């Protein structure tokens, strides 16, 4: 939502804090540009709601019951990973992040687009992909990476580093899977850090505060942010 707000698709309002909780929640609204996107009959007669309330389960669990949705979701994730990794791995600063690793697990890595890109760029790294059984069973196996069926919320295969999209609960499992910092252990997160590396100091401070809270809750001692593509960054979490 922050990216879309910066892009002018949405506008953000910041109402006063709630008297009961002392917290305030950002409220988003349409801009003239986004109003042009919601006209017409399609969005008024069809539903694109992917919330658990609408379907009785999370979007990720839907992959178990709907083969068409499973294929579409994994193709979309692969397209996103291919675009990001093609650019990210050409960055010299990013190369240093991966160059010292001997093994890596991509948690929730789908059909392995990101892991395959890393394995081809750094042949010395043994790459694994951890995902649900219904995902890895349909993944194209070419021997570049090893696919492991499992639940990231229960356990993560041991490795020098873990690559994932962020979640405090998953981070705790990843923390258990890696060695100490002195032994090269770390978790590598690819995510958007709005405002990092730009003159927007307010946004930068807010994001640093959010990441600090996340890594402390997950039991890490330090982190490092490396800006890569646009708002996309690589965050290294150290035990």
Q: CA–CA separation, 93 vs 99, rounded Å?
A: 10
CB 98 within 8 A of CB 121: yes
- Report the b/e string of 153-187 with b at 16+ CB within 10 A: eeebeebbbbbbebbeebbebbbebbeeeeeebbb
**Neighbouring residues of 78: CB distance < 8 A, sequence distance ≥ 6:** 110, 111, 113
pLDDT band at 206 (very low <50, low <70, confident <90, very high): very low
Alpha carbon distance 115, 145 (integer Å): 7
Q: What local confidence, expressed as pLDDT, does residue 31 receive?
A: 84
Could you tell me the pTM of the whole model? 0.61
Domain boundaries, the chain: 1-46, 60-238
Q: Per residue in 71-102, pLDDT tens? A: 777 777 777 777 677 777 777 777 788 878 89
Share of the chain above pLDDT 90, in %: 6
Greater confidence, 30 or 194?
30
Residues 227-237, mean pLDDT to the nearest whole number: 77
What is the CATH number that goes with domain 60-238? 3.40.50.150
pLDDT in tens, 137-165: 888 877 889 999 988 878 888 889 888 76
Per-residue pLDDT at 127: 92
């Amino acid at each position: 939502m922050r990216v879309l707000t910066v892009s002018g698709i949405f506008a953000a309002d910041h109402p006063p804090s709630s008297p009961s909780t002392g917290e305030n929640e950002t409220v988003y609204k349409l801009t003239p540009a986004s109003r042009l996107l919601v006209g017409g009959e399609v969005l008024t007669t069809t539903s694109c709601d992917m919330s658990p309330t609408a379907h009785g389960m999370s979007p990720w669990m839907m992959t178990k019951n709907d083969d068409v949705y499973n294929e579409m979701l994994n193709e979309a994730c692969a397209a996103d990973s291919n675009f990001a990794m093609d650019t990210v791995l050409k960055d010299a600063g990013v190369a240093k992040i991966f160059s010292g690793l001997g093994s890596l697990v991509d948690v929730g890595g789908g059909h392995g687009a990101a892991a395959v890109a890393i394995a081809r760029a750094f042949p010395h790294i043994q790459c694994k992909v951890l995902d649900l059984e219904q995902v890895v069973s349909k993944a194209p196996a070419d021997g570049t990476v090893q696919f492991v069926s499992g639940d990231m919320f229960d356990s993560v295969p041991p490795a020098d580093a873990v690559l994932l999209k962020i979640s405090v609960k998953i981070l705790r499992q990843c923390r258990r899977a890696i060695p100490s910092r002195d032994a090269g252990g770390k978790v590598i997160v690819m995510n958007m850090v709005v405002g990092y590396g730009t003159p927007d100091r307010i946004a930068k401070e807010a994001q640093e505060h959010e990441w600090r809270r996340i890594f402390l809750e997950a039991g890490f001692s330090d982190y490092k942010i490396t800006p890569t593509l646009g708002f996309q960054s690589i965050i290294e979490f150290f035990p």
